[in-house]
Structure 1
Amino acid sequence: MAVSNAHLSLSSFLLSGCLSLLAVVSLLADEEAVQLVRAYTPVLLLGNYVLVNLYLRLVHQGYHYQIAVRATFLGTVFSTGCLISVFAPLSWRPLGLYMITMAIFHYSEFLVTALVNARTLSLDSFLLNHSKEYGIAALASWIEFFIERWLLPELKEFWPVVLIGVMMCAAGEVLRKAAMMTAKTNFNHIVQSVREDGHQLVTNGVYAICRHPSYVGWFVWSVGTQV
């Protein structure tokens, strides 16, 4: 079941992501097509997302559908971020990189949990509904970006800072996922206050370097998204 959940989520993520990219990039044959794509990209992406979700509704039911629809959403966010990062005006491209980073983080949280600790796997493993505070912080950062881009667009074109943020996100992501794969069944998204059978103190791998690598990785990633 764990492997099927992992495969289902991965196929849904890739299906929506690849189709979204193909639907747009396939039209970039000439300059007129480029202008057309830039004008109607949101419509194309939305149409693709709706069609994929209709397909998922036909082939999946219940819990599997809930997994697929979340992975599809994140795949669409990822592909949209790729398009913004490549084709949008320079001051918008950091937003595309941010979308890519967010999609990878939230999807990989579910995928890695499905692979290494299926017993604790749930829809919450996507961390899309992490907490009210997380949602407020994310919303505040989006508002901040749009205000800054509106008032001082040149701030979003200073790529050395953007690249530092990308590297921080990548480093934090790698550290956190390494921690999850090292801890395996000892990792849980919910803080455990009672020792259960099978719990072990992990001291190998990244835990030999850092006592709480999953938290440190998430912290570095979080700061990187704001840089």
Structure 2
Amino acid sequence: MLCSDGILSLFCFIAASLISLLPELLFRLELDIYIVYFTNIWFLHIIQYIFINVLAYLAFRGFAYQVAVRAIFLGYIFGIGILISITASPSWQIFGIYMTILANFHYSEFLAIAWTNPAVLSIDSFILNHSIAYGIAASLSWIEFFIERYYFYELKLPSPVSYFGLILCISGEILRKLAMCTAKHNFNHVVQSEKNDNHELVTHGVYSLCRHPSYVGWFYWSIGTQLILQNPFCFCAYALMSWRFFYDRVLIEEITLLNFFGEDYVKYQEKVGTGLPFISGYKISL
């Protein structure tokens, strides 16, 4: 059942998304009186975004406020991404799709934890501050997109490559969320060093297909984002760096799981692969 903070975040995310779409909706209904006051539509969006953040500041305090402002931010980005993907020039449309995919991923991480394991819910569950390297990688992908769009306009037009990337992102997202929902209280964004009393070895559902479905989903989501943007350099960099990150992460996690579950995990390893290309995990013989 969704906890109160999860409900709050969902309300803020949906509200911010709808508010971001409001100017376009009014324009299509020919109720565009706002044009008299705002000749620049982006200035109107800035005013709207500031307004709903002021409301959040007045309405909430503490942890609830921190949840609200992040959900509002991601919801507004999600809505703006939809607008760009359906109203902007073709070379910007794929960036709009990318924005919706990125905002949805980070928000759904928080929502999934709020639903399946609220005891460990925190602001970090949005994983907006995942790491410095993650932020740099995202920034570099935007820079590559803008530079290539300026010099190679045709490269950024919607194509089967970008739509395949979208399918990859959606599939990876679904797999990751299925893993989180299947593992429930056993899932945590941080690798646990101590075994809790209710910690169980999950081997059913998507875990019967691969040992690390959440990592598999994130891996393919990651490289899918660069296919959407049609960034050839960042696609190669993301594939390499994501593989390296999950190679190290799987080793660390499997050492921990072997300590927790011993022979049961060894038998599980024998039956099910990691799901990640060229990553076999940490193996021992008992």
| Deviation by residue 1:35-77 (Cα, 9 ceiling, x = unmatched) | 99xx723112211111101111111111100000000000000
Aligned-pair identity in percent equals 51
Residue number in structure 2 paired with 1:12: 12
1:210 equivalent in structure 2: 210
Cα deviation, 1:199-224, whole Å, max 9, x if unaligned, reads 11100100011110000000000000
The 8 Å contact of residues 24 and 41 in structure 1, kept in 2 or not, is answered as no
The aligned residue for residue 110 of structure 1 is: 110
Aligned residues: 224
Distance (Å, rounded) in 2 between the aligned partners of 1:46 and 1:164: 33
Instruction: Provide Cα deviations, 1:9-39, integer angstroms capped at 9, x if missing partner.
Output: 0000011110110133212346x99x99xx7
Report SS of the residue matched to 1:189: coil
SS in structure 1 of the partner of residue 154 of structure 2: helix
Match of 2:187 in 1: 187
Would the aligned equivalents of 2:109 and 2:127 in 1 still touch at CA under 8 Å?
A: yes
Hey, what's the Cα distance between the residues in 2 that align with 1:104 and 1:85? 15
Cα deviation digits, residues 114-138 of structure 1 (max 9, x gap): 1100111000000000001100100
Paired with 1:49 and 1:92, the residues of 2 have a C-alpha distance of 22
**2:156 corresponds to which residue?**
156
| CA displacement at 1:2 relative to structure 2 | 6.0
Q: Which residue in the other structure is 2:88 paired with? A: 88
Output the aligned Cα RMSD: 1.9
Query: What does the per-residue CA deviation read over 1:135-159, in whole Å, with 9 as the maximum and x for residues that have no partner?
Result: 0100010000001101111111142
User: In structure 2, what is the equivalent of residue 223 of structure 1?
Assistant: 223
The AA in structure 2 aligned to 1:45 is H
Supply the distance in 1 between the matched residues of 2:85 and 2:11 (Cα, whole angstroms). 23
1:57 aligns with 2:57: yes
Q: TM-score, normalised by structure 1?
A: 0.94
- Choose 1 or 2 for highest CA Rg: 2
> Which runs of no fewer than 5 residues in structure 1 stay unpaired?
none
Aligned residue number for residue 71 of structure 2:
71
List runs of 5+ in structure 2 lacking aligned partners. 228-286
Structure having greater relative contact order (Cα 8 Å, sep ≥ 6)? 1
Check the 8 A contact 1:45/1:80 in 2, yes or no. Answer: no
Q: What does 1:117-128 align with in structure 2 at a 5 Å threshold?
A: 117-128=117-128
Q: Which letter maps to 2:173? A: E
**Runs of 4+ in structure 1 over 3 Å off:** none
2:46 alignment counterpart:
46
Distance 1:94 1:104 in 2: 15
